[in-house]
Amino acid sequence: MIRTLSLTLALVLSFIFPVSAQDNKPAQAPSRNAQSKDACKSKCEAQYNLDKECQEGVAPMHSPCEIFDQCVNDCK
């Protein structure tokens, strides 16, 4: 009887702990991070790239595109 009770308890515990471990989803953190980066880039475009003339990573010196690039780099 004790053996049966122990096996039943072990079986129940084996189902409880893996399920609770799956509830902790660390994979959501990168998606939130990606969303915040996208929001930051959108903010940069709204402030510095109104005419959509600037491309990320390509910026002539001392131009609005350079400021836009700096803003986007700060998002990373």
Cβ burial 16-46 (10 Å sphere, 16+ → b, else e): eeeeeeeeeeeeeeeeeeeeeeeeebeebbe
The total of structural domains in the chain comes to: 1
Assess if residue 26 is contained within a domain: no
Q: How far apart are CA 46 and CA 73, in angstroms?
A: 15
Q: Read off the pTM.
A: 0.50
pLDDT digits (tens, 9 = 90+) for 15-64: 676 654 455 555 555 677 888 999 999 999 898 888 888 877 765 666 77
Assess if residue 53 is contained within a domain: yes
Q: Which of 43, 49, 42, 40 is nearest to 68 (CA)?
A: 49
Q: What is the pLDDT of residue 65?
A: 84
Assess if residue 56 is contained within a domain: yes
Assess if residue 22 is contained within a domain: no
Please give the residue range of the domain that contains residue 48: 38-76
Q: What is the pLDDT of residue 1?
A: 75
CB atoms within 10 A of CB 54: 22
Q: How far is CA 51 from CA 31, 45, 70, in A?
A: 29, 9, 17
